A = this chain, B = another copy of it.
Amino acid sequence: MATEALGALQLYLRETRLLGSINSCLYWDQNTTMPTAAAAWRGEQLALLAGQLHKRQCSPAYAALIAAAEQSLDQLDGAERPGWQRNLQLLREQLERQRKLDPQLVQHLAAARSRGYSLWQQARSDDDFALFAPALEELIRLRLEQARQLAEPRSPWETLAQPFEPDLFHGRLAELFAPLHQRLPVLMERVRSRQRLEPPAWSLPEPLQLDLCNQLLRAWGFDSSQCVLARSPHPFSVTLGPNDFRITLRCAVDQPLSAILAVAHEWGHSLYEQSLPRGQAQWFAWPLGDATSMGVHESQSLFWENRVARSRAFAERWAPRFAERLGAAPWGDGCGFWQAMNPMKPGLTRVEADELSYCLHILLRYQLEIELLEQGLPVAELPRRWTALMQDKLGLIPPSDSLGCLQDVHWSEGLFGYFPSYALGHLISAQLAEAMEAAIGSIDDHIAAAEEATLLAWLRQHVHPLGRSVNAEQLVEHVTGRPLSAQPFLTYLEKKLERLLACS
């Protein structure tokens, strides 16, 4: 270890990671295996660990370890110093954030989250927004109080978004999103005006879907000595230890493409986790070994889902594999299969949205978060505003609040400031892909030649090793040589739409 004080701090961080990963293992089990009647006890286990983790992360002993490590930086030579300095700066920021919060507020928030989540579930299933509204009001009140206590030189929404997307401001988001506001409705109109035939519906038994998913993962480097694939009601990716990477999928017989696309998405998250610079103890347990933002994380999953698995080249290669298992090809040729993978049709729900409408769902949520947190929109008005914006942006009117403002889990847990990361993921993915193509040639050509490994190698060389040494925008600029913008995404999307519409 570089200095004795850094060594002592590392031991402490390692134990925190151990506890955190135990927590993740319980979460994994809960979502893949646990029987329903065990939920209450599992809740108590998770609360116990959360309490231990919280205590560790704002204890005086921890603060002393950080202070000693900071003082020891003088002993380091110039080459070593910047990395350690960045680690300590990130730890210090997090510690100060924790210490500014009134412990009572932390407790109230935990209780409000748990209450909010449970009321949201009921409200969604009963389609009764009024049931959830008081809980949402309370969550907004407590989160605003949290932002006030943090007292950062940022607006309340910006303060709450920090943990997901460090250093992001409204002004910058407005700049990044303006072209989306302008162009996406135009593109949607273009698709709408060229009415296409609905592809015929077909279904595929679950074992065959699983088989295809496993085939995809093997081709994309799934190593069963350190990776696990299981099933869960909602697909997710989670890292349980330095050599323990897991993803889940969901199979629906009638949505025969959804499992493989979800696997591509979750595997993209996992690939990023697998090559962060924490293996072999380099930055293990230190911030520099972590993902730098949710937007960057999402850019990696979206790259594998949209740029690779939803590409024409991929469709051409995989259509015969699906046809072989199905014993038929109701979609016609590879082009028909590609169109089935890319419906490009606006819908009511975010999680089912395609590349064309996804960001519009995000713009809507981001705007409503600003209105709720910073412009005094009464919670009771939320359903009305949701419907108005939905009609404005996507031309659709939700038939119920369950399919409207109650569809996402985030707000029920007080998670504000998270949604824009999804849209940023699209932008970042496209801009990185542009740089990738400049370096190694057409992505589609590599996919056509079954050389996805070349794409992964490029990401592993240029993107993944950066960890938290840079924030999301710095990462993009570092890798692509240009500031982040929506242009690469819109250029890519426009080209793809042209080809999709031309294809027949």
Taking Cβ atoms with an 8 Å cutoff, the residues of A that contact B are 15, 18-19, 21-22, 25-26, 28-29, 32-38, 40-42, 44-45, 48-49, 224-228, 230, 240-244
Contact between chains at A240 and B38 (CB < 8 Å) = yes
Chain B residues with CB under 8 A of A240 = 34, 38, 41
- How near does chain B come to A296, taking the closest CB pair, in angstroms? 25
- Nearest B residue to A42, CB-CB: B241
Q: Assembly of this chain: how many copies? A: 2
Chain B residues with CB under 8 A of A45 = 18, 21-22, 25, 241
- How near does chain B come to A133, taking the closest CB pair, in angstroms? 32
Contact between chains at A226 and B22 (CB < 8 Å) = no
Between-chain CB contacts (< 8 Å), 30 pairs: A15-B48, A18-B41, A21-B41, A21-B45, A22-B22, A22-B26, A22-B45, A22-B48, A25-B29, A28-B29, A29-B29, A32-B33, A33-B230, A34-B228, A34-B244, A35-B224, A35-B226, A35-B228, A35-B243, A35-B244, A37-B225, A37-B243, A38-B226, A38-B240, A38-B241, A38-B243, A38-B244, A41-B240, A41-B243, A42-B244
Chain B residues with CB under 8 A of A226 = 35-38
Q: Which of B25, B35, B41, B241 contacts A225 (CB 8 A)?
A: B35
- Nearest B residue to A38, CB-CB: B244
Q: Which of B15, B28, B44, B244 contacts A37 (CB 8 A)?
A: B244
CA distance A45 to B22 in the complex (A): 7
Q: Which of B21, B25, B244 contacts A25 (CB 8 A)?
A: B25
Q: Which of B22, B28, B29, B32 contacts A49 (CB 8 A)?
A: B22
With A21-B41, A41-B241, A244-B41 as known contacts, state yes or no: A225 contacts B36, CB within 8 Å: yes
CA distance A240 to B45 in the complex (A): 11
Given contacts A22-B26, A36-B225, A41-B241, 16 further A-B contacts (CB under 8 A): A15-B48, A18-B41, A18-B45, A22-B48, A25-B26, A25-B29, A28-B29, A32-B33, A33-B230, A34-B228, A35-B226, A36-B226, A37-B226, A38-B240, A38-B241, A45-B241
